[in-house]
Amino acid sequence: MYHVVASDLDGTLLSPDHRLTPYTKETLRLLTARGVHFVFATGRHHVDVSQMRDNLEIEAYMITSNGARVHNTAGELIFSHNLDEDIARELYALKYDDAEILTNVYRNDEWFLNRHRPEEERYFRESVFTYQVYEPGVLPTDGISKVFFICDDAEKLVPLEEAILARWGDRVNVSFSFPTCLEVMAGGVSKGHALEEVSKLLGYSLASSIAFGDGMNDKEMLIMAGKGYIMRNAHQRLKDLLPEMEVIGSNAEDAVPRKLRELFLG
């Protein structure tokens, strides 16, 4: 029997237009009312996710910034692992002037971009979260949960991934949440290791957890959980890496809440 459910958001629990469908909301409320522990496990910022959780009116732990932050059901920060300041400083400037690559920084409770791009706010259908524009030499380098790069041409991010790994190695965890989004956290940070900590706090082993995901940033969580489920719309690199893992439907079909009802509410 599973007692802990962890789910990614974009591409997994959220619909393609980045919303929680009424079916999903009802499922999560029924699930938590049964005593199952639900955990948001996402690359999103904790300010954004806390609004989603509050709107749902459920108790849930939050793993955010791909595991760099963990908040308990009361909204209290219980785990934090920041990028080293020298790495953050270089990442700020790495692609700052590249017209095709958008640099994003999550620092404490704030979100920064290297230039104005209003369409980025289209991802916030369940919350209100806005960015500020930064300058590399001005933005402080402490409190950085992650820096991530977005490019409509996914091929341009692959050499960037290789360069970052060659530069810093194990001091960073680099992963694609989407083919067009490359994320950089501190070494050792992952949703899987964060889920392990949350499970312990809840009094369970990882074997008692299940996890849902669609991106390379879900890899550790899917492997470490007692049971992992990959979305049909998942990044092909993830499917290739975990060929034996069960693939369910897509996020356009409410596949996660359907599976949860089958497992817990049938």
Structure confidence at residue 230 (pLDDT): 98
The rounded distance, in Å, linking the Cα atoms of 225 and 121 is 32
As a whole number of angstroms, the distance between CA 12 and CA 199 comes to: 21
pLDDT tens-digit series, residues 84-110: 999 999 999 999 999 999 999 999 999
Give the count of beta carbons closer than 10 Å to the beta carbon of residue 25: 18
Condensed to tens digits (0 to 9), the pLDDT of residues 36-85 reads 999 999 999 999 999 999 999 999 999 999 999 999 999 999 999 999 99
Q: Is the pLDDT of residue 124 over 70?
A: no
- pTM for this one? 0.94
- Residue 8 annotated as catalytic: yes
The CA distance from 111 to 109, in Å, is 7
Spell out the domains of the chain, with CATH numbers in brackets. Answer: 4-80+189-265 (3.40.50.1000), 85-186 (3.30.1240.10)
* Residue in 8, 10, 48, 218 annotated catalytic: 8
Residue 147 · residue 159 · CB < 8 Å: no
